[in-house]
Amino acid sequence: MTLTGFSGIVVVILFVGTMIAFYLIKRDADRTELREIRGYRKLTREIGRSVESGTQMHLSLGWGGITGSESASALAGLSILKQIIKESAVCDYPPVASSGDATVAILSEDTIRDTSQAINIQTGHRSTGELVGLTPFSYAAGTLTTIRSPQVSANVLTGWYGNEVIYLTSAGERQGTPVIAGTADLPSQAIMYASATDPLIGEELFVGGAYLGGGKIYEASVNAQDIFRWIVIGLILLGAVLNLLGVMDPFSSLLGGVR
């Protein structure tokens, strides 16, 4: 086993351990001790509004698959979809999910049906997890149809995107419906930052479960993220100081090449 492999295993075990530790020591289950994120505050309000006015939420999961390196974005999107369904349990129309990857489309359909069944609301025969296109721009063109629907009152874009995301955000702007958007790809994050009404920057995309009432364990995983953030900051500062003092590549053996 290489040193890097060992470091990787240490990271995984430490992360899971921290998550479980926070879960156990967290006192008050329903009091979330997380900073406010404007995108999720707006999302919660839009869920309430869609339940009140009998309209539908539209969640788009991007065109990234789940077997490639962009799988984290799609999995985060599916987690947010699950929380939205739970939050809007008493709505007339369950949320509609569109995506540009077949696997993610099937998973979104399963998530909608099983979560609805778990909190026994009828989704009826209408399949609400749709594959709208298989290339990035055909996915964007297909999603425009859903955004234009007068039934949709808000759009949530969480997944893997490219330049075509500008179509979705400007269609939301033309329609006058809010667009809450987040992705892991940096160039499309810059486009979302400029054109979405409520952008989710950087890793804010991955904490949707905790902000939408996922429960103690989700908040524990966010706290674990925070702990690792400070470990990384410590390592950077330590490495920079050692580097300055002439120690070449202080941790490269630990963090070096993978194979």
Partner 1 sequence: MAELICQMCGKPNPKDQEVCRHCGARLTPLEAAPPEDTPRENAELPSSFEVPVQPDPGEDDDLSWLDELREEDSDEQTGRIIPEPLDDEFEEDEETDWLERIQRLNTEQEEDLSVEDQGSEGDFPSWMTAELGDPGVPESEPAAEEPSEPDLPEWLQVRTDELGLEPSPAEEREQFFGPEQEREPEPGPEPDAVPEPERKPAPEPDQPPLEEPVQEELSDGEERLDRFQETPEAPEGIQTEPADRDELEKPAPPLDEEQDSAAREQEEIPERTSRFPSWASKIQPGQESPQDWEDEDEDIPEDLQFLAGFTAEDEDRVDKKPAELPAEEPPRQPERTVDPFAMEEEEEEELFDDLFEEDLPSWLTSAVDLADQPAEETISPGDLPGWVEAMRPVVEQTDPTGYSDEEEYIENYGPLAGISNILPAEPDIETAPEDDKAQSSMSLSVSKTQRDYAELLEKVIARESKVRAVTEPEALPTQRILRWLITLVLILSLSAVIIFGGGSEQGEAAFQAERFAGATALHEIIGDLDQADPVLVAFDYQPALAGEFHYTASGVIDHLMSRGAYLSFVSTQATGPTLAEYFLQSTQEKHDYTHGLQYLNLGYLPGGGAGLLSFSIAPQTIIPLAFDGSNAWDSPPLEGVESINDFSLILILTEDPTTAKLWVEQVQTASTPPMGMIVSAQAEPLIQPYFQTTPRQVSGYVAGILGGYAYENLSGEPHLAHAAWLPFNTGILITASVIFIGGLANGILTLYRRQRGTEGGDYS
Partner 2 sequence: MNLKFRALISTAIVIGVGVIVLAGYFLPAITAVRFILLRAGLVLAAVALLVGIINLVGIHLRKLSSDQSNSGYSLILVIALTITLIVGAADMFQTYMFGKPNFQMIKWVFTYIHLPIETSLMAVTAVSLIYAAAYILRERLNVFSIIFFFVIILVLLTSFSISSNLLPILQSARNWIVGVPALAGGRGLLIGVALGSIATGLRILTGIDRPYGG
Partner 3 sequence: MAPMSAIDFIGITLGFLLTILIFSYLLGDNPFFRLATHIYIGVSAAYVALVTVNNVLIPRLITPLLTGTDSERLFSVLLLIPSLFLFAKATPFRKAGSWVMAILVGIGAATAVGGAITGTLFPQLLGSMNSFRLSTGTPQPFFVRLINGLILVIGTTTTLIYFHFGTRSEPGRPNRRKAVIDKIGQVGEIFIAITFGALFAGAYLAALAAMIDRLSYLWNYLNDIGVQILSAF
Q: Which of residues 88-127 bind partner 1 (CB under 8 A)?
A: none
Angle 29-33-38 (CA atoms, 0-180°, nearest 5)?
Answer: 120
139 part of the interface to partner 2, by CB under 8 A = no
**Interacting residue with partner 3 among 84, 132, 180, 212 (CB under 8 A):** 132
- For residues 60 and 140, the answer to whether their CB atoms sit within 8 Å is no
Q: Taking CB under 8 A as the rule, does residue 26 contact partner 2?
A: no
If one asks whether residue 96 binds partner 2 (CB under 8 A), the answer comes out as no
Residues 6+ apart with CB under 8 A from 205: 73, 76, 158, 182, 183, 184
Q: How far apart are CA 108 and CA 104, in angstroms?
A: 6
Query: From the CB of 227, what's the least distance to partner 1, in Å?
Result: 25
Interface with partner 2, residue 16, by CB under 8 A = yes
Task: Report the candidate in 230, 233, 172, 238 with the shortest Cα–Cα distance to residue 199.
Answer: 172
Residue 256's binding partner among partner 2, partner 1, partner 3, none (Cβ under 5 to 8 angstroms by kind) is: partner 3
150 binds, among partner 2, partner 1, partner 3, none (CB under 5 to 8 A by kind): partner 1
DSSP 70-134: THHHHHHHHHHHHHHHHHTTT-SSPPEEEESSHHHHHHHHHHHHHHHHHTT----S---EEE--S
Residue 75 in contact with partner 3, rule: CB under 8 A: yes
Among 193, 243, 249, 256, binds partner 2 (CB under 8 A): 193
Q: Which does 177 bind (CB under 5 to 8 A by kind): partner 2, partner 1, partner 3, none?
A: partner 1
Q: What are 180's strand-pairing partners?
A: 156, 198
CA 113, CA 129: separation in Å to the nearest integer?
9
- Judged by beta carbon, residue 12 or residue 119, the one nearer partner 3 is 12
Q: Please give the residues from 19 up to 78 whose contact with partner 1 meets the rule CB under 8 A.
A: 38, 44-45, 48-49, 52-55, 65, 67-70
Does 186 interact with partner 1 (rule: CB under 8 A)?
yes
Nearer residue to partner 3 within complex by CB, 74 or 156? 74
> Which residues sit opposite 157 in a β-bridge?
60, 181
User: 111 touches which of partner 1, partner 2, partner 3, none (CB within 5 to 8 A by kind)?
Assistant: partner 2
Q: Choose among 199, 251, 207, 201: nearest CA to 226.
A: 207
For partner 2, the binding residue among 207, 211, 212, 219 (CB under 8 A) is 207
CB 18 within 8 A of CB 223: yes
Task: Give the chain's end-to-end CA distance (angstroms, integer).
Answer: 10
Q: Is 149 in the site for partner 3 (CB under 8 A)?
A: no
- Residue 36 token pair: 């406010």
Residue 212 interacts with, from partner 1, partner 2, partner 3, none (CB under 5-8 Å by kind): none
